Structure 1
Amino acid sequence: MILSAWLGYSELVELGTNNVEGIKVVLPEGHNHDDMIRLSPKAFAKMKRLRYFISRGACFSGGVLSYLSNELRVLDWSNCHLPSLPSNFHGEKLVVFKMNEGRIKEINCWKFKNLTVMKFSKCKFLSNILDVSSCSNLERLDIEMCENLVEVHDFVGFLDKLVSLNLYRCLNLKSFPRHLKLRSLRNLELWHCSKLQNFPQIECRMEILSYIQLEGTPIKEWPSSIGYLTPALNLLSLYLDQCIHQLQNQKELCLSDYSIMLKEDERYSSINVCFTGIEHLSIEGSKDLLCLPISIPHLQVLKDLSLLIHTNLAGYLIRLKMLHLTNILTAFN
């Protein structure tokens, strides 16, 4: 049995039945919160087979929700007034978990082993994303405009199937995973996280990463492993914006298996500026590199350069003390 409720059923108070497998509550456009459809917590106690609950305009009347079916696959709940989920809800079958403008204070997904999508937006009371170590199938983690979020659990950095990690406008985020080992990641958005100052260590080559957004995030410390972000390094230069000047303090950079052919034009001018302080540069393992991803004339303090393939670099490296060249294509004049 699937139950859909629209405005006109002002009191859905005792519809609980063991046959209900889905509820979708939609408040028509143009109506405000005073028109919300009211549900009874007692009704949910009887819905042992409930597989999905989608709410776009429902609230509870007559008590506190103490039970949610552990058969739930989809929990998509806007304006949820609960500070936490019922303690007897384990969510072992939950696949999609979304909340918009809710009052939830923390997320503990320690049993959500089948979860693939988690999205929270404008949850102003949310302060922590706790242990997600059992969420090994998580593919999308979108936490947007949760302005009081302070901490994201370290294990988020080790979710092997994670494709998208988005923390847009989490203004008070300070504690982010210290290590990232996200081989499947394609999209990384940390823009306008105005209190996040440290970028995590990259523990593996993130070869399919194609989009990075760090605009408005004042990163002060960059790891030497930032080269593992290739091939997204060219995109990095486009979206660093306010924090790009901090990379001028970077002294060591390793680009492994770097095969992107970059040309000197305005699109890459920012990456040349941000790496002007590099003293040790290693570009190794590439077979297709025809020009360097960083313009040599900008590396005024470079002391140690290791290249697999190089172009004509003569006349620029005025402070170079050590040079390693392998498979040379063009020799110095």
Structure 2
Amino acid sequence: MHDLIQQMCEGIVLDENRWDPRKRSRLWRYEHIVQVLNKSKGAERVEALSLDMSQVSRTIQLSPKVFEGMDNLRLLSFFLRDGYWYKNPTSKLHLPQQGLEYLPNTLRLLHWDRYPSASLPSNFHPENMVYLKMPGSSLTQLWEGDNVHLVNLKVCDIRRSKELIKIMDLSGVPNLEELDLEGCRSLVEIPSSIQLCRKLTMINVSECVNLCGFPSDLRLTSLEEVNLECCPGIWELPKLPSTVKTLSIYSSGIKQGMCSIHGDWIVLVWMGQSGHDLKPQ
């Protein structure tokens, strides 16, 4: 039944224009997407573009203005299936040295595995963004400057971005729920403005081996999961709320024996090489 419904939906989209994929609202087939990426002018009807990069057999050179004119684009996804992640150590999508010059401000979901540039376009104002996922990217920073307002952003996943030096000021991200920075080995600091993310449920900075600046107070009332594994530069456990259910400090620099948590016991604490009992006060 699911396959039948999918075929029906695909047929409806194809019927929007049988000959020119630029005139369709959604693109998912490799050959159609490549055609549009090579000639994007006139693709203003496209609302969603999703490419399984495991289907990409050759390198695709993108223009810095490849998305110019796609002013209705709400979903952009260049993804690798789990089984292909380690089989494809480099991106098949290449950008010129200056990177992208344009992304539509209409984007609500941006998923780009192994994004090949150091930053997003300086004229990109993603106030509509809800979901940002760019694991394994070449990003050194997300945006230039700190005056970024991401009032709708709920998920930010840029794990394994080994060149990432800094993240944005989080005071402009009041609705953030998940922040995944695992394996961002060049990251040195989490801004204190994270304390303004009252809806944050999960923060993962595991394997951020150069991270040394971390807020001492994380008493966010929605927080449930904190992962500080393999962060030797974090020496003190931050103050945490009683809502935290999972705390992982394996191979971190934390030596403090007391945990500043008021209320219930944490359900699960990974200790590993830290080796001290943590008790709520």
| Fold-level similarity (TM above 0.5) | yes
Tell me which of 38, 42, 52 is aligned to 2:65.
42
* Deviation for aligned residue 1:135: 0.8
Aligned residue in 1 for 2:260: 226
Amino acid aligned to 1:161? K
TM superposition shift of 1:225: 6.7
1:85 match:
120
Q: Does 1:68 align with 2:103?
A: yes
**Identity over the aligned pairs, expressed in percent?**
30
Structure 1 residue ranges without an equivalent (≥5): 248-252, 256-333
Task: Give the deviation of 1:245 after TM superposition.
Answer: 3.3
Paired position in structure 2 for 1:285? none
Aligned residue for 1:20?
A: 46
Contact 1:216–1:241, Cα closer than 8 Å, also in 2: yes
1:173 to 198, 208, 211: 211
Q: Give the match for residue 59 of structure 1.
A: 93
Which SS does the other structure have where 1:151 is aligned? Answer: coil
Structure-1 separation of matches of 2:110 and 2:33: 22
Aligned to 1:241, which of 256, 261, 272?
272
Q: Write out the 4+ residue segments of structure 1 that deviate beyond 6 Å after TM superposition.
A: none
- TM (normalized to structure 1)? 0.65
Query: Counterparts of 1:1-333 in structure 2 under 5 Å?
Result: 1-6=25-30, 12-16=37-41, 17-28=43-54, 35-56=58-79, 59-60=93-94, 64-108=99-143, 110-202=148-240, 206-221=241-256, 226-228=260-262, 230-233=263-266, 235-236=268-269, 239-245=270-276, 255=281
> C-alpha distance in 1, partners of 2:184/2:157?
11
User: Residue by residue, what CA displacement relative to the aligned partner does 1:292-317 show, whole Å, maximum 9, x if unpaired?
Assistant: xxxxxxxxxxxxxxxxxxxxxxxxxx
TM-score where L is the length of structure 2: 0.76
CA displacement at 1:7 relative to structure 2: 6.2
Offset at residue 90 of structure 1 (A)? 1.1
Which deviations, in whole Å up to 9, do the C-alpha atoms of 1:259-293 show, x marking residues without a partner?
xxxxxxxxxxxxxxxxxxxxxxxxxxxxxxxxxxx
Given that residues 107 and 130 in structure 1 are in contact (C-alpha distance below 8 angstroms), is that contact kept between their aligned partners in structure 2?
yes
Contact 2:33 2:51 in 1 (8 A): no
Is the CA contact (8 Å cut-off) linking 2:230 and 2:250 kept in structure 1?
yes
Q: Displacement of 1:5 after TM fit? A: 4.0
Q: Which residue identity is paired with 2:264?
A: P
